[in-house]
Every structure is written in C-alpha cells, then in structure tokens.
Amino acid sequence: ENREKMIETLDEMQRMVEAALAFSRDEAAREAATKIDLGEFIDAIAEDYRDMGREVSVAPPPTRVVARFRPFSLKRALRNLIDNAVRYGEAADISVEARDEAVVIRIRDRGPGIPQERIDDVFDPFVRLEESRSEDTGGIGLGLSIARSIVQAHGGSLVLANHPEGGLEARITLPA
C-alpha cells in the first residue's frame, strides 16, 4: 500500500515537472523578442552577481553583438547557468561571440567539472550530482532543465562540456 502511494506521488511529481518545463518553454515562446546588445545585457547580469560578492567576469565581445531575443526568459536561463557556475565552480567566466548566423555564449566555471558519463544526466529533472541537499549548495535539480528548455524555445542549443584546462563550460548557441 505504501509502495503504491509512493509511486502515485512520484507520478504526480513527474507531471508537475513536465508542466513546469512546458510552462518555461511556452513562457519563453510567448515573450516578445526585443533587439538587445548581448554584451551589455550579460554584463548587467554579471554586475548584479558582483554586487553580491560573487566572482563573475565577462570578456568584452570582439564585436558588438546585437540580435533579437526574449530578454526575461534568456536572463532566467543565464542566471540558472551562472548560479551553478558560482555555486559549484566558485566563479563564472563569460564570453560572447557572433559567428555567421549564430551567437555563442560561454559560461565557464573553475570547479572540478562533471564526470563525462554524467554530463547528459544533469539536464534531467531532479538530477543533482551534489547529493548533500544542503541549502548552501543548491536547489532541487531543475535549473539546467529549465535553462535548456528556454534556450530551445529560442531555437538554440545548450551543451555542457568539461574544459581541457579545468572546470565546466556551458555553451549556448542561439540563432542571430
């Protein structure tokens, strides 16, 4: 009887997560796209973190990157990634560049990275590699799922990779 109740609860939680992810995706799709200077946009987000004493740096883009994005949802995705970088990797180093028909945003931390076999797993809802569940180290494992959902709603992709020089790098590629 307890087992059945637990399965029922887990099924309900799964439906709630799917609804939250669908909401994030729909919310991003409904928001009006606005022409923004991505370098200035990201620098303003980084400044908020620096004001809170977090180590977040932004490399000035080689050229001005102006394109149409949905600013509130994109900010939410970037904040989820930067939160992870400063929480698990002590700092976030961000860069932006324009390539042909795409814009690439890189957020690199200075932590240990993620075991290669677990990189795809962290996009699944409720998956956390840090198991302590302490309030100091994090949430419930939805941040990367939401970030990916928002980026995909922009027609882009979000990929994680261990950087050869250390740390984890999140790479967002968006259509320009």
Q: What is the pLDDT of residues 58-97, one digit of tens each?
A: 998 878 888 888 898 899 899 999 998 999 889 999 999 9
Interhelix angle 71-89/143-153, rounded to 10 degrees, is 150
Residue 132 in tokens: 């302590």
Structure pTM? 0.78
Asked whether residue 35 carries a pLDDT value surpassing 70, the answer given is: yes
d(CA 91, CA 56): 6
Q: Which residues contact 81 (CB under 8 A, 6 or more apart)?
A: 92, 107, 143, 144, 147, 158, 170, 172
d(CA 170, CA 143): 13
Q: What is the pLDDT of residues 114-136, one digit of tens each?
A: 888 878 877 666 655 554 333 45
Q: What percent of the chain shows pLDDT beyond 90? A: 40
d(CA 54, CA 98): 27
Cα torsion 123, 103, 96, 33 to 10°: value is -80
Residue 40 in tokens: 């200035």
Whole-number pLDDT of residue 141: 61
